[in-house]
Amino acid sequence: MMNLGIIALIFFTMLGSLMWVMPNKAEKRLAAIRAYGISKGLRVTSIKAPDLSVEGRIDGKFKLYTAYKKGMPRQKGATEYIVLRTTGESGYGLIDGWRFENPAFRLQGAELVRLNDALTQLPPWADLLAILPDGIAIGFDERGGNEQVDAVCDLLDAFCRQFFVK
């Protein structure tokens, strides 16, 4: 009887370990969406930025955004920045609902007009636009599946023509 108990304990311990490392349904869905994005030529990356939800602003929290990035060469010394969707006060010169990662950051003239034009094109499920030294990225919630990735891919192509050297 004791031997059966020990065998059962070992068996269930091993089974529990295997079940813990196996991806669940949600993880498999995210992996499939991200693999689709990679197959479209995008890089899937994470960007740490302030959490601009009500709770995040009060507690000073940060959030890890999943972003899909298209790499492009930029002019040396080109400005880089991250713009985030917010429920609070908008950033200086930005359309309602958007703020720079660094609240003190300012853009002016044609660059600000170009950025606001890009922000108006973003769908409501996009939370982040990053203009980086080696490309441009859009962060979103990944709830809509491959259709979202297709839309992001089209937007990134258009934004690369807008923001980058050809």
Length of the chain: 166
**pTM score, two decimals?**
0.79
Local structure of 41: helix, strand or coil:
coil
Q: Are 91 and 98 in contact (CB under 8 A)?
A: yes
- Sheet of 126-132: strand order equals 43-50, 62-71, 135-140, 126-132, 81-85, 98-100
Average pLDDT along the chain, 166 residues, taken 10 residues at a time: 78 74 80 89 88 72 88 75 82 81 81 86 91 87 88 88 67
What confidence score (pLDDT) does residue 166 get?
Answer: 47
Strand partners, 84: 99, 128
